[in-house]
Amino acid sequence: MTQETILANATLVLPDETVTGAIVLRDGTIAGIDTGKVVPKGAVDCGGDVVAPGLIELHTDNLERHIQPRPKVDWPHNAAILAHDAELASTGITTVFDAMRVGSNPNGKGRYVKYARGLASELLALRAGDALKISHFLHLRAEVCSETLEEELAAFGEEDRVGIVSLMDHTPGQRQFRDLSKLEAYVKGKLSLNDAEFQEHVAQLKELRARNGDRHEAAAVAEAKRFGAVLASHDDTTPEQVAVSAGYGIRIAEFPTTLEAARACHDHAIAVIMGAPNLIRGGSHSGNVAAHDLAAAGHLDILSSDYVPSALLLAAVQLGETWGDMARGMATVTRNPARGVGLEDRGEIAEGMRADLIRFAMRGGVPALRSVWSRGERVA
């Protein structure tokens, strides 16, 4: 049976402009677009609300937060996955690449234990059972400062919907945590380590990097190719690090820490992702480059909600206002991430695209989400 919904009298965010018009959703795809304020019989009158593509999230730790809501608490996984899925839908995210760490250090102070293969299987089983509201892919965060990266990557295959593999190098004193005092505050707060335990943690990570780092990087690059996944870097700091990333065939740079690194990424045709919380807060919690500085310099392509799912829409709207171009701002959370990972069927309002859409109105300078559709079905 044909299912049709018409959203009329809406401010449509098209790929390069915003217009007043109507959009026809039929059997999970966008079947038609028209301009004007006419509200056909049976259509939803949006009253001028903004209708934009569903948001696409490439990097979020949100699922891990649901699995472990408190230290040493392992929440029932199916319940956690469903809650995570519903939360993202409620913020306008219709496609997510769920970040899962691969590469464990079972004897370390950081309590890095294996979990990704089992959690991924549980998530994919729920997806196969049509239990999820939105579209899920996997983002494997390959931790090179670890003992078990190679064997954990080997447990995944082409059938696992691995869309991104990112190279994670958390060696103390470089990249995200060049300032060891920032690392100390973060790790002690997260893992409840004392001074001696923190020093042991730092020494252990440095030893792991020296012993395994180069081999693990090579393995992650090879495995990403086997999966057919996009390769991403993480926390590039110098043009030299970016050059290495380019040599690996990296297409996305997550959270470069300096303006120089972001500029070098663009020189190598590598798309730059920055955190929406960084943009909203006005700076990085780690003391690195501010997202708004990269936006002003023209070196910000994609936003990620990172650790606050609701930040994604707010930050995109703020970028649209900053740039004076709402279509450009919204592209950082729709078209740009979709194209960055090779998804050609979503990310913009155009005929034939997936009917993944959001409707919101501005209230007190903040986007208030009214409705969310995934494949034409309302999910929030």
CATH 2.30.40.10 in the chain: give the residue spans.
1-53+348-380
Paired tokens of 243: 């050059």
pLDDT of residue 52: 98
Question: What pLDDT shows up at residue 205?
Answer: 72
363: Cβ contacts below 8 Å, ≥ 6 apart: none
Q: Which CATH superfamily is domain 55-345 in?
A: Metal-dependent hydrolases (3.20.20.140)
pLDDT reported for residue 182: 60
Residues of the chain with CATH 3.20.20.140: 55-345
pLDDT at 323: 96
- Fold assignment, 1-53+348-380: Urease, subunit C; domain 1 (2.30.40)
Q: Which residues contact 276 (CB under 8 A, 6 or more apart)?
A: 291, 303, 304, 305, 306, 308, 311, 312, 314, 315, 316
Structure tokens at 362: 């501005």
Check residue 140 and give its pLDDT.
98
Q: What percent of the chain has pLDDT over 90?
A: 80
Which pLDDT does position 196 carry in this prediction?
Answer: 74
3-state secondary structure the chain: CCCEEEEEEEEEECCCCEEEEEEEEECCEEEEEEECCCCCCCCEECCCCEEEECEEEEEECHHHHHHCCCCCCCCCHHHHHHHHHHHHHHCCEEEEEEEEEECCECCCCCCECCCHHHHHHHHHHHHHCCCCCCEEEEEEEEECCCCCHHHHHHCCCHHHCEEEEEEECCCCCCHHHCCHHHHHHHHHHHHCCCHHHHHHHHHHHHHHHHHHHHHHHHHHHHHHHHHCCEEEEECCCCHHHHHHHHHHCCCEEECCCCHHHHHHHHHCCCEEEEEHHHHHHCCCCCCCCCHHHHHHHCCCCEEECECCCCHHHHHHHHHHHHHCCHHHHHHCCCHHHHHHCCCCCCCCCCCCCECCEEEEEEECCEEEEEEEEECCEECC
d(CA 67, CA 79): 9
Query: Quick one: pLDDT at residue 108?
Result: 57
- Per-residue pLDDT 10s for the chain (380 aa) are 678 999 999 999 999 999 999 999 999 999 999 999 999 999 999 999 999 999 999 999 999 999 999 878 999 999 999 999 999 999 999 999 999 999 888 765 555 789 999 999 999 999 999 999 999 999 999 998 888 999 999 999 999 999 999 998 866 656 666 655 666 556 555 666 676 776 676 777 777 777 787 899 999 999 999 999 999 999 999 999 999 999 999 999 999 999 999 999 999 999 999 999 999 999 887 678 999 999 999 999 999 999 999 999 999 999 999 999 999 999 999 999 999 999 999 999 999 999 999 999 999 999 999 999 999 999 99
